[in-house]
Amino acid sequence: MPEFAALIEGYRRFRLGSYREQRERYDRLAQGQAPKVMVVACSDSRVDPTRVFDAEPGQMFVLRNIANIVPPLAAIQGQSSVAAALEYAVSGIEVHHIVVFGHARCGGIAAALAGSFDNPVAGRHVHAWMEFIAPARDAVKAAAALSPDIDAQRALEQAGVRLSVENLRTYPFVAEAEARGALKIHGVIFDIAEGALRVLDRATGQFQAVAVDF
Residue of 13, 15, 20, 46 marked active site: 46
Q: Are 153 and 110 in contact (CB under 8 A)?
A: yes
28 Cβ contact partners less than 8 Å away, ≥ 6 residues apart: 58
The mean pLDDT value for 36-60 works out to 97
Strand pairing partners for 199?
188, 208
3-state SS, residue 187: strand
172 Cβ contact partners less than 8 Å away, ≥ 6 residues apart: 73
How confident is the model over 117-153, as pLDDT tens digits?
887 777 889 989 999 999 999 999 999 999 989 999 9
- Residue 187's pLDDT is 98
- Residue 146's pLDDT is 93
Clarify whether 46 is annotated catalytic. yes
- Residue 118's pLDDT is 84
Give me the domains of the chain, ranges plus CATH numbers.
1-32 (no CATH), 33-209 (3.40.1050.10)
Q: Quote the CA–CA distance of 187 and 11 in Å, as a whole number.
A: 32
Give the single-character DSSP code of 137: H
105 Cβ contact partners less than 8 Å away, ≥ 6 residues apart: 153, 192, 193
Clarify whether 106 is annotated catalytic. yes
Residue of 25, 28, 44, 186 marked active site: 44
